Structure 1
Amino acid sequence: MANQSIIRITRELHDMQKGSDLSIAVACKDSDVRHVRALVIGPPDTPYEFGYFEFQIRFGKDYPTKPPTVTAMTTNGGRTRFNPNIYAGGKVCLSILGTWRGERGEEWSSAQGLESILLSIQSLMSGNPYENEPGFEDANSDGDKRAQKAYIDKIRHETLRISVIERLEDYLGISRRPKIAVYSADSDYSNAFDAPFEPFIDKCKRRFLWYYDSYALSMDNGLRMHKDGAHFEKMPFEGPSNSMDGTFMYSNLKSRVQTIHDKLNEETLAWAGEGQVAVQQEKSISVNLQRQFEQIVEVYKKTDALSLDLELVDKNPFLWQLILYGRPMTHLDGGIFRIKIYLSPRYPAEQPRVKVETPLFHHRVSSSGDLCYLVTSDNCEDMKIHVQAIVAAIEDDHPAYDPRTLVNPEASKLLWGTADDKKIYNRKLRRSVQDSAEYVDALLDLMQSANIPVR
């Protein structure tokens, strides 16, 4: 039975890790698949939007006959209750986990698994979490509606502060505030201050760059709605040691988010220098990337289906430049797009960061030029797949709606708005495409006048 349990857990982990779901991730130490860490990214258009919520999952030997134990880890050191069903102490109340009394048919069955648990948790992160509390699901009086809005407002603030900002500050060494770890009484972690297992650092950093514009927009809206220092409203279902207390401080959050963004850009640019050192030391990663680059160039020399130039900047295999030429008869027709692909000496543990340097009004390109593109963990080591995914993300004329990939709020609102909105999106896109050739020419002239080698 124990071996069957291990096989089941291993298969579920593999299936989830090879998928391309942007909103859920799982990881474990190789030595023990029974102890899993999971990251659930807050759904768009909710107060949890693009927040990073981490959970600890412990599988017993009787899994899948019985559900695993799930503990929330994003709790502000045990001080913040993010949802009526996600307690400050880490308890997650779900009928399928046996931690909440549900309707018949909602209880656990062996047909369910890790992914269904995480999707159930994500479903708690709704647009109106106030309704998750029993007795308040049908609250419709004016007072209840005001309370619902107050609850949504403070969750949005604390999602940004705790799950995004403090997490990234810790990753980047910005915050000097010591971490406080609080786990449930049955936690298997004997010492919360041991070297932590942090499997989601790169995933959160890349997504921060993608979603930076959304964070900034949310904070601008928050600044208009709430004065700094205004206290959160206490909800009727919140009790001692199981609440969300605090004050609105959007001015402070906005400054901290900008600092994180600057630090991540500095880190990305530093990869090129680290890469040069790796080349000098003849590390295997530099040889691998050099070989991959040469193979990809040969592949594209043999195809007429796509027009692009690919080269190394300063002969550095950790910094690639891609010049993409817009295909005829598409929205990109006539465009010339200069794209930089930054690679870490720790690739593929740290995935590439891609900057579209030519200004482009596009739903997949942030205001800072960060490109949101997708590859699965199964092929994340193959740079050819990355190049293909980068081109596909930019060229997609008829994208399927997925709000997790819409990293430019202004462009996304137009693209998925009314028919007139979409016309405006297409006009803005075409205008930026027409300007792209002039931008590249101006950039080349500037480089030549400064005696910078043109590559």
Structure 2
Amino acid sequence: MNQSTLRLTRELADIQKSNDLSIAVACRDSDIRNIRALILGPPETPYEFGFFEFTMKFPKEYPGKAPAVNAITTNGGRCRFNPNIYAGGKVCLSILGTWRGERGEEWSSAQGLESILISIQSLMSSNPYENEPGYENANSQHDKDNQKAYVLKIRHETLRIAIIQRLEEYLGLKADGTSIVREPRDEAGGDSSSAYVDEGGVYFFEPFKDLCKRRFLWYYDTYLASIQAEKEKVTEGQAFVQMPFEMSGGSGGNSMEGKFNYPELERRIQNIRQKLDVEAEGWGVEGMKAFKDERGVAANLQRQFEQAKVFFDKSEAATLDMELEDNNPFIWRVTYFGRPMTNLDGGLFIFTVRFSVRFPDEQPRVQFSTPMFHHKINKDGIPAYFPGGLHPRPDDAKSHIEGVISLLEEEDPAYDPRTQINIDASKLYWGTKEEKREYSKQFRRSVQRSIEYA
């Protein structure tokens, strides 16, 4: 490898090994200079928890020369999500050489893959109107009205395009809820969770499909709450306000045109949720068939279950019981007993870990059947956890159980709005002293009642 390739390889690995919730990167092994990147829309902005994808082509002169970056979450080139992110995909940033910057803001070899993605994410602010040159300090009443109108339509289109439309495509769903049949495979013809061939035989590389599905499950309640809040601000069928810097029609079509229809978005987002539940249920059926066919993934999970059971039986760090549902190595049922002298004391918490036959390319889906009032567990029982342990490995099933236990037992977590997926619990947990006390009461109440659900 030359120095350019070595640096890119290292930068990719650093991001992929981190627990950064905001960005993800991927490439095909044979083409490291063509990178796909996913940026999660920042909390408390109209882009909140949207999935925005970019292509990045790195020249052989990298890091001496900047990559070419192109936005592909544009509704087929019809939606300009930001003054600096065009419908045609162009990303205007001085460090990329696509915009005139001040001295010292241009590209240098000190920049890299991560800094580029962070710079793009910084464009997704709470007031993106001011990103347009000449509008940075706009404060007339007309501009203030435009700022509000711009935020309103960005939030609607983030939900519609960057969340709903993306998940529908991943799940093979049409907007009316009917299904599209696809044939999953990789370039060699084997199973792959990150690629498919459409009805026309066109091959698609989708490295973030599993990640987006799991994050959608995290943020489902947040998406619904956003829809409820936003639909009160507009009327159904109300047309988007065109901004002074937007251009309708013509080449590029640099605008965001459309109408508000939150009831439709709510229906579609609920369809996605139901489809994901059906998909996870189907994993058990696929898994049992793989087990009967003596496939390697089934033998691997059976062995991992037995090893994990022995590990936790001997461990003093946690008390839990594990069993396979219907002797299926793809469905683990875990019962965790609250540690004495902690706020979990006396609790009995049951969660299910479902594995795909494409594990670890598809990561497991974890869900509590015991109702929990916890700021990192949503109302459906989905926990915002990371595979844990001394040496976290996403391909190690035990590591996922350790991650869930760590979430339950953590006593002084750092605030991260991207993991606060129970809206009501989070408001209390990070609120005033009185609200924190109320959180503790409701949490303890759920612990005390947990035995009823065993």
Q: TM-score, normalised by structure 1?
A: 0.91
Preserved CA contact (<8 Å) 1:76 1:162: yes
Residue 331 (structure 2) pairs with residue 323 (structure 1)? no
Partner of 1:184: none
1:206 to 177, 201, 214: 214
Partner of 1:50: 49
Determine the C-alpha separation between the residues in 2 that align with 1:171 and 1:306.
37
> How many Å apart are 1:176 and its aligned residue?
6.6
Partner of 1:422: 436
Determine the C-alpha separation between the residues in 2 that align with 1:387 and 1:290.
15
Determine the C-alpha separation between the residues in 2 that align with 1:234 and 1:361.
43
User: Alignment partner of 1:314: what SS?
Assistant: helix
User: Alignment partner of 1:20: what SS?
Assistant: coil
Preserved CA contact (<8 Å) 1:331 1:397: no
* Counterparts of residues 232-251 of structure 1 (less than 5 Å): 232-240=240-248, 241-251=253-263
Deviations 1:206-260 (A, max 9, x none): 0000000000000001121111100011111111310111100000000000000
Preserved CA contact (<8 Å) 1:20 1:375: no
Determine the C-alpha separation between the residues in 1 that align with 2:134 and 2:364.
48
User: Alignment partner of 2:232: what SS?
Assistant: helix
Partner of 1:222: 230
* Counterparts of residues 303-382 of structure 1 (less than 5 Å): 303-375=315-387, 379-382=393-396
User: Alignment partner of 2:330: what SS?
Assistant: strand
Partner of 2:185: none
> Partner amino acid for 2:435?
D
User: Alignment partner of 1:387: what SS?
Assistant: helix
> Partner amino acid for 2:212?
C
Partner of 1:392: 406
> How many Å apart are 1:375 and its aligned residue?
3.1
Preserved CA contact (<8 Å) 2:387 2:401: no
> How many Å apart are 1:362 and its aligned residue?
0.6
> How many Å apart are 1:378 and its aligned residue?
6.8
Preserved CA contact (<8 Å) 1:330 1:397: no
Preserved CA contact (<8 Å) 1:355 1:371: yes
User: Alignment partner of 1:25: what SS?
Assistant: strand
Q: Percent of aligned pairs with the same residue?
A: 58
Determine the C-alpha separation between the residues in 1 that align with 2:201 and 2:39.
23
Which runs of 5 or more residues in structure 2 are unaligned? 181-199
How large is the RMSD of aligned CA atoms in angstroms?
Answer: 1.7
Determine the C-alpha separation between the residues in 2 that align with 1:375 and 1:117.
27
Structure 1 stretches of at least 4 aligned residues deviating more than 4 Å after TM superposition: none
Preserved CA contact (<8 Å) 2:175 2:268: no
Determine the C-alpha separation between the residues in 1 that align with 2:121 and 2:361.
26
Larger relative contact order (C-alpha < 8 A, sep ≥ 6)?
A: 1
User: Alignment partner of 1:152: what SS?
Assistant: helix
CA distance change for structure 1 residues 144 and 214 in 2, over 3 Å: closer, same or farther?
same
Q: How many residues align?
A: 427
> How many Å apart are 1:107 and its aligned residue?
1.1
Determine the C-alpha separation between the residues in 1 that align with 2:214 and 2:318.
27
Preserved CA contact (<8 Å) 2:84 2:131: yes
Preserved CA contact (<8 Å) 2:392 2:399: no
Determine the C-alpha separation between the residues in 2 that align with 1:176 and 1:369.
27
Deviations 1:5-51 (A, max 9, x none): 11111111111111111110001111110101000010111100000
Preserved CA contact (<8 Å) 1:414 1:425: yes
1:256 to 268, 277, 285: 268
Which runs of 5 or more residues in structure 1 are unaligned? 179-191, 441-455
> How many Å apart are 1:305 and its aligned residue?
2.7
Determine the C-alpha separation between the residues in 2 that align with 1:363 and 1:269.
26
* Counterparts of residues 278-289 of structure 1 (less than 5 Å): 278-289=290-301
